Chain A
Amino acid sequence: NAGVTQTPKFQVLKTGQSMTLQCAQDMNHEYMSWYRQDPGMGLRLIHYSVGAGITDQGEVPNGYNVSRSTTEDFPLRLLSAAPSQTSVYFCASTRGLNSPLHFGNGTRLTVT
């Protein structure tokens, strides 16, 4: 099992550019989420999904869009990148209530 796979591992964007961070899981988990990790801030929830077709905002959703057309995939879109979005992004999935979150290995994004 691959678990949670994130691509790309690294990305550099210029301010105003757009891109999509990919996330796929092969564990048939209903719940998926996106976090960003910044020094001294821990991990903060951006968006999450409780199943295909259902998404909701987390703590820091501004500047990010998500959609969930299949159980396996949960892409994160940056429509117009800003330097404040420089961060490490983690996708995670879980089978349900109080079950472990399974994280991918992250995407390190730099916006110049």
Chain B
Amino acid sequence: QQQVKQSPQSLIVQKGGISIINCAYENTAFDYFPWYQQFPGKGPALLIAIRPDVSEKKEGRFTISFNKSAKQFSLHIMDSQPGDSATYFCAASKIYNQGGKLIFGQGTELSVKP
């Protein structure tokens, strides 16, 4: 049973466009929602994370939008660049579940065309 569902599976965006990746979760006990970015041949790396007490968090061109009532959160990449081409994973965890126990979405392969 997939507790975190991610869409789309793949995404092609023109340079300068907005990339949007969506995730939905089932377990209301989740209260930490990170996004990880993975380049080919590398391990995932934390991009940005949000807690459910805020509806939006922005870091540079990357924004997380969070809708607690709908149990959904999304990643927006503004002014997408070819260097953003990577696989993106959303994830969720419970704060009292300790570090290292993340539930990941299925991943989105983003390609930004020049």
Contacts and interface: CB of A to CB of B under 8 A. Distances in A.
Interface of A: 4, 30-33, 35, 40-45, 48-50, 58-59, 90, 92-101, 103-106
Given A42-B4, A104-B43, 18 more contacts: A4-B43, A40-B107, A45-B101, A45-B103, A90-B43, A92-B43, A94-B99, A96-B99, A97-B98, A98-B99, A100-B34, A101-B44, A101-B102, A105-B41, A105-B42, A105-B43, A106-B42, A106-B43
B25 interface: no
Interface of B: 4, 6, 9, 32, 34, 36, 41-46, 49, 51, 89, 93, 95, 98-107
A40 B104 contact: no
Contacts of B41: 105-106
Contacts of B89: 42-43
A1 to B, nearest CB: 15
7 contacts: A31-B100, A43-B104, A45-B102, A96-B99, A99-B99, A100-B46, A101-B99
